Amino acid sequence: MANNENIKDWYISNFKSFEEKLNGQSQSFFHKFRKDALIKFSELEFPTTKNEEWKYTNINPILKHNFNHAFNSVKPVITNEEIQKYLFSGFEFHLLVFINGIYSEELSDINELPEGVIVDSLNNVLKSNPELIQEHLSKYSKVDNSFNALNSAFSADGYVVYVPDGKIIEKPLQILFLNGAENDEVLSLPRNIIIAGNNSQVKVITTFYGYKKNTYLTNAVNEIFAGENSIVDLYKIQNENSGAFHIDKTDVYQLKHSVFSHYNFAFGGKIVRNDINSVLGDEFTETNYFGMYLGNEKQHIDNHTFIDHAKPNCVSNELYKGILDDDSHGVFNGKIWVRPDAQKTNAYQSNKTILLSKNAKIDTKPQLEIYADDVKCSHGATIGRLDEQAYFYILSRGISPEFAKSMLIRAFANDVVESVKIDELREQLNHMIFEHLHRVEI
């Protein structure tokens, strides 16, 4: 099915059978939300490269597949032992596992949590605490393109993290998304919500892995609310298989004195698109974006970030680094928007890319849009290869070319990797970088 119009109709025509499988939810507010999104989906067209926001990312290969909703796909049997190799280890954590976007209670392991804290699947929370979802759903993330409309319309599950005022979840949450099916091209649509109350703290590590070789589409939407004085860390480690497509939209809303940090490590996927948007909704908030994208073979990785300085006295820091090998193609689009009254804003953005091979390619578009005068904003972008002088120097000390290159790669990646606050995670990420680039690890 090569035609966009056809694929759109195909998804719409599947809605009926999807509805039937929901057994008895048809009157709920959540189902109304789905139906509204379906209307939006039918009005929207999948973006083309003529759309400024999708200028460098051609999604036509994604539209050539008829992805099957995880409900219709045969659920793969996975054991606890098999899960282990996908997990980050060496530290204590609460574990949630999702197979093709649907919660797997038997594989998950949530131990004792502070009183009032909710860490569960969206489906369960919709039953136990629907008001909570109703209050926050679609409040921070609005439907604005076909992908997130599709996610909303067919949304079936995801994770919910709710931390009440003053509570702290000490151990990080590790949330594993295992995707892919044996004989099927499956559609995984996680819908995730993190609500951090005033003075609360939470660390979330989300990991996306390809489980089977088959092509599949992960199309996720994440909504995050950071209350006053809260500290929220969200790590996203994306390592889908090489035939998979991955689309992800994260919308964050921050209140006074909150600190939100996003760590975005993109390893896998054939076509990857991440949208990370933050609204700094009150004074004295801090936002940190760290990103690392690694491309090999014919991978296409597109990162879009948008920081909306809506109020005065806020700080944002952004550092995105890429290493592109083989025929891979990287895209970075970072926008800092300072609204008219957001005086005393400090916003920094930096994007650096290394092209390891002749056929690697990068398109970058750092943007500043500023409407207040008493601000300090800057952005920088560099593109190049590994420093030849440094390389020569290392070689002259008798170090092998392979090792020398790895040293330079490690040095380049260092400031992003070092930003990771969980020590064990940091080392494992470093390992993944070298593994993905097929280089000697140091």
Partner 1 sequence: MAEVRAEDFGSEEQAKIVEDLTKSDYKWGWETIIDHDTFPKGLSEEVVIAISKKKNEPNWMTEWRLKAYRHWLTMEEPVWAKVHYPKIDYQDISYFSAPKSQPEFESLDQVDPELLRTFEKLGIPLEEQKKLAGVAVDAVFDSVSVTTTFKKSLAEKGIIFSSISEALHEHPELVKKYIGSVVPYTDNYYAALNAAVFSDGSFVYIPKGVRCPMELSTYFRINNIDTGQFERTLIVAEDNSYVSYLEGCTAPMRDKNQLHAAVVELAAFDNAEIKYSTVQNWYPGDKDGKGGIYNFVTKRGACRGKNSKISWTQVETGSAITWKYPSCILQGDNSIGEFYSVAVTNNFQQADTGTKMIHIGKNTKSTIISKGISAGKSDNSYRGLVKVLKNADGARNFSQCDSMLMGDKCGAHTFPYIEVDNNTAQIEHEATTSKVGEDQIFYLNQRGISTQDAVNMIVNGFCKEVFNNLPMEFAVEAQKLLAISLEGSVG
Residues that bind partner 1 (CB under 8 A): 52, 56, 340-341, 343, 353, 355-358, 360-385
Name the residue nearer to partner 1 (CB basis): 239 or 364: 364
Minimum distance of partner 1 from residue 372's CB (angstroms): 6
In terms of phi and psi (left: phi > 0; alpha: psi -120 to 50; beta: otherwise), the region of 25 is: alpha
Kind and range of the H or E element at 59? none
Minimum distance of partner 1 from residue 374's CB (angstroms): 6
Minimum distance of partner 1 from residue 369's CB (angstroms): 5
Name the residue nearer to partner 1 (CB basis): 341 or 435: 341
Name the residue nearer to partner 1 (CB basis): 6 or 367: 367
Measure the N-to-C terminal CA separation of the chain; round to a whole number of Å: 45
Kind and range of the H or E element at 257? none
**293 beta partners:** 266, 322
CA distance 277 to 202: 19
Minimum distance of partner 1 from residue 289's CB (angstroms): 17
CA distance 359 to 201: 44
6, 70, 107, 157, 164 from 65: Cα distances, Å: 11, 15, 30, 22, 42
Minimum distance of partner 1 from residue 330's CB (angstroms): 10
CA neighbours closer than 13 Å in the CB half-sphere of residue 160: 24
Minimum distance of partner 1 from residue 248's CB (angstroms): 24
Minimum distance of partner 1 from residue 354's CB (angstroms): 8
Kind and range of the H or E element at 215? none
Kind and range of the H or E element at 60? helix 60-63
Name the residue nearer to partner 1 (CB basis): 127 or 298: 298
Name the residue nearer to partner 1 (CB basis): 73 or 351: 351
Crossing angle for the helix pair 146-153 and 29-43, to the nearest 10 degrees: 150
Name the residue nearer to partner 1 (CB basis): 51 or 128: 51
- Please tell me what DSSP assigns to residue 172: P
Name the residue nearer to partner 1 (CB basis): 17 or 378: 378
Minimum distance of partner 1 from residue 246's CB (angstroms): 23
Name the residue nearer to partner 1 (CB basis): 81 or 374: 374
Minimum distance of partner 1 from residue 14's CB (angstroms): 36
Residue with tokens 């909306």: 308
Minimum distance of partner 1 from residue 439's CB (angstroms): 16
Measuring CA to CA, which residue among 348, 290, 289, 338 is closest to residue 311?
Answer: 338
User: Rounded to a whole number, what is the largest CA-CA distance in the chain?
Assistant: 72
Check the CA dihedral 33-41-243-77 and report its sign: positive
Name the residue nearer to partner 1 (CB basis): 214 or 346: 346
Name the residue nearer to partner 1 (CB basis): 270 or 329: 329
Crossing angle for the helix pair 423-437 and 401-417, to the nearest 10 degrees: 140
Name the residue nearer to partner 1 (CB basis): 137 or 331: 331
- Please tell me what DSSP assigns to residue 53: G
Minimum distance of partner 1 from residue 306's CB (angstroms): 14
CA distance 16 to 241: 30
CA angle 237, 195, 292 (to 5 degrees): 20
Give the β-pairing of 118-121 and 159-163.
antiparallel
CA distance 319 to 54: 21
Query: Which tokens belong to 427?
Result: 């080392």
